[in-house]
Amino acid sequence: MRLRCASSAGEPLTPEVVAWAVDTLGVEVRDHYGQTELGMVIGNAWRQELRTEVTPGSMGYPLPGWACGVLADEVDEVVPDGTVGRLAVDTHASPFMWFDGYANAPERTAQRFSADGRWYITGDTAYRDSDGRLYFSSRDDDVIIMAGYRIGPFDVESVLVGHEAVLEAAVIGAPDELRGEVLEAYVVLKPGTEPSPELEQQLQQRVKREFAAHAYPRRVHVVGELPKTPSGKIQRFKLRQERAGN
């Protein structure tokens, strides 16, 4: 038997995982996006009629029956392409939308929907390109606000794990009097690699060069493992809690 299709949902795939799948499994892994409240709503579809070439980092297009938009932070208006904002489902244009609220939890339900009921707010941030593809940025509570810049930790983490010495990485915001927050990184090194000031500088320079000069981690912590859910998702909130307790 031969594996014909492979799909992923949850934390976005890194370029290394995509390359590994092609080399090891003989098939690319296509990213998707969904929630318990919705099912799968965005994806790089496998079905021939919907299949398009995968753009690295993209979770694809809204699937049939769904319409999604990226909203501004303070108002329920769609932002220009390329701008990170709140990922939302347009309930008026999504005939497959079935979720209308949490049982016996009106306040929690109200947090998920715009005042006019049109938009279901996912709690995640994303951006859209000019072709309509959507790109996951982060959970809304993981977003780092530094001197007015919104920085999604996944973007920085992807750059860090591209270094030959790094096995895994997680990025959080740390309080800063001048900028509000600055970035700090937690990395797990590959076996046989030792932490050093030189390695920390290499990682900082890599982020400056390949992502953004202002978004480099001010500190890089080497750890034995990262906190994760049973399904393998990194729990950044636990790193924030541990840091706050230090």
The answer to whether residue 1 scores a pLDDT higher than 70 is no
- Do 42 and 128 share a domain, yes or no? yes
Where in 106-243 does DSSP place strands (E)? 119-128, 134-139, 144-146, 149-151, 166-176, 180-189, 219-222
pLDDT at 20: 85
Mean pLDDT, the chain, as a whole number?
A: 90
- Do 148 and 42 share a domain, yes or no? no
The number of domains in the chain is 2
Segment 29-54, tens digit of pLDDT: 999 999 999 999 999 999 999 999 98
Please give the Cα distance from 111 to 95 (Å, whole number): 22
Q: Are 43 and 66 in contact (CB under 8 A)?
A: no
Q: What is the CATH number of the domain that holds 118?
A: 2.30.38.10
Q: Which two tokens stand for residue 54?
A: 């995968």
- Do 171 and 241 share a domain, yes or no? yes
- Do 161 and 57 share a domain, yes or no? no
- What are the phi and psi torsion angles at 7 (to 5°)? -130, 155
Residue 176 in any domain: the answer is: yes
Q: Which two tokens stand for residue 26?
A: 């003989």
- Do 120 and 198 share a domain, yes or no? no
Which of 122, 140, 158 corresponds to the end of one domain? 140
Residue 197 in any domain: the answer is: yes
Residue 27 in any domain: the answer is: yes
Q: Are 166 and 195 in contact (CB under 8 A)?
A: no
Residues 222-227 have a mean pLDDT of 94
- Do 136 and 147 share a domain, yes or no? no
Please give the Cα distance from 141 to 79 (Å, whole number): 20
Q: Are 228 and 10 in contact (CB under 8 A)?
A: no
- Do 134 and 190 share a domain, yes or no? no
Q: What is the CATH number of the domain that holds 173?
A: 3.30.300.30
The boundaries of the domain holding residue 74 are 6-140
pTM comes to 0.73
pLDDT at 231: 63
Residue 73 in any domain: the answer is: yes
